[in-house]
Amino acid sequence: MEKNFFGAIATLVGTTIGAGVLGIPFVVAQAGSFIGVGHIIIIGVAIILLNLYLGEVVLRTKDKHQLTGYAERYLGNNGKRVMAFSMVLLNYGALTAYIIGVGIALSSITALSTFTSSILFFIIAAAIVYFGLKAVEESEMVLTFFVIAIVAVITFIAFFSGSFEPVNLSSFDLSKIAIPYGVVLFAFAGALAIPEMSQELGKNKKLLKKAIIIGGIIPLTIYALFALAVVGITGADTSQVATIKLGEVLGPQVLLAANLFAIFAMATSFLAIGLALKQMYNFDYNINKNISWGLAVIIPIAAFLIGIKEFIPVLAIAGGVAGGLQGIMIVLMHHNAKKLGQRKPEFSIGDNKIISILLVLMFVAGMAYEIIL
């Protein structure tokens, strides 16, 4: 039971912590620490609640689905189409970002080119996704441990190094108050992991609520500490991929550790999201497993090969637009599942209309900002 419980937490943490964490320090440095950390806390709490909503939806449903399947059941065919669009935009954008990001990080600590590093990573990760849940679960347990351990070491070194300047954290620019939103929301996107967590827990589904809360608090804490540590060192010079500039300032040992963190963080997310997309095509569209795997992994590598290279703008648009759209759909699914569910769930979250409206308004405002500006 304990192994399954910690495995479920690792799945959520591994799915959540990916390329987004590497972009957070950049947008925090732009807007200022107070505004940036405020985004991390508010959005982090909102996503924990959203994941609890989705957890209840999963537990009220007898059949196995991914997000599109739950949307179809509780919101109809149009709901399924909208959810599928949000998943395609968010998750293919994420997988492409991971391929790019791992290539940059791996090439910075090896003699390999960024292109070769990205292709090597893709081959290994795609192979793991092909072999399914057990292989991904076992990989995530190890990789997630390394992610947490490395970020703890980097944060400790940064805070107590001679290069840390508290004055770098004092900047405040109200005109840039919305800049962190899309990247931070992208960094917290882990809803795809919730159905997987339910499967991993087996008969112990009563532990899903606790696993979701713990699995949400861990990324929130990591993001806040990592952002403060990096911005405290690099200030206005913070790079879009945070570990690059941080490593340059703190020396070769930290360069190695920081970019290993980047690689492990993005690898865990690639595995979990790749599996979830494969399951979506297999479970919700009844497509052959091999073809489902191909659809999940070929599109992001194709996007990489045709030259998509922007990092922060891709994260912001994918997070703000697709993440916001997905959030709205989950709120609506939760509301309808209260009436249309097939079984009594192991836990239930109150359907508070004021909270639901506030969540929807936040997502709509964020979508409008990223599209218009």
pLDDT at 115: 94
Provide the token pair at 151.
């970020």
C-alpha 335 chain-centroid distance: 24
Neighbours of 275 (CB within 10 A): 28
pLDDT at 140: 61
Please give the DSSP secondary-structure letter assigned to residue 178.
T
d(CA 279, CA 101): 25
pLDDT at 231: 95
**Amino acid type, 105:** A
Q: Is 163 exposed, middle or buried (0-12, 13-18, 19+ CB in 10 A)?
A: middle
Do residues 118 and 103 touch, judged by C-beta distance below 8 A? yes
The architecture in CATH of the region 2-372 reads: Up-down Bundle (1.20)
pLDDT at 133: 60
pLDDT at 136: 62
pLDDT at 232: 95
The residue ranges of the chain whose pLDDT is under 70 are 1, 133-141
d(CA 19, CA 304): 15
DSSP sequence for 109-166: HSSS-HHHHHHHHHHHHHHHHHT-HHHHHHHHHHHHHHHHHHHHHHHHHHHTSTT--G
How many helices (H) and strands (E) the chain has is answered by 16, 0
The residues spanned by each domain of the chain are 2-372
pLDDT at 1: 57
